[in-house]
Structure 1
């Protein structure tokens, strides 16, 4: 039904997932990359730890808005999800490295 807030089953194959959702396996992998527990992710989402545990175990189907919030939270902390049809999860390289040295600061790179 259009406009429904019903979640898609977390057991779906990657190619069956929409662009703003993730699989349970991707959620677990993303947490592992960030070194987060279920409680850590739940705290960042403002939801109970049971939500993360249930989603990642396939225990219940959360509303799609909560899954989108979970994905957005992980992405905001540097997680990059692979293209459609893949289970790829990695950390962004953006923002990593040594940054700009003090002696190289200019008004152009001060933005």
Structure 2
């Protein structure tokens, strides 16, 4: 991967892909991956699509690049729109696109303690 990426261009590309997928979503890791502690994933969702309830794999934020989304737990919800940064709670949560949206999910995975 190069040292520079246009998130706006990548978001447009992923939204185009999401519009052709049955799931209504598309994703691309833009930095890091399974071998890194930090991972950033660009996720595009068409209106009404979402990510079902799941656990938080570590510290995480959602940066809304385009559109409007809702991040929810059983007891709270946060709406975000372009430019907003939502801190992902430690609780199980879900994400729904209120309109065609692109987000940058940043996760710092928890490390396992070293064996003693």
Q: TM-score range by the shorter chain?
A: 0.3 to 0.5
Higher strand share: 2
Q: TM-score, normalised by structure 2?
A: 0.31
The TM-score with structure 1 as length reference comes to 0.32
Larger Rg: 1
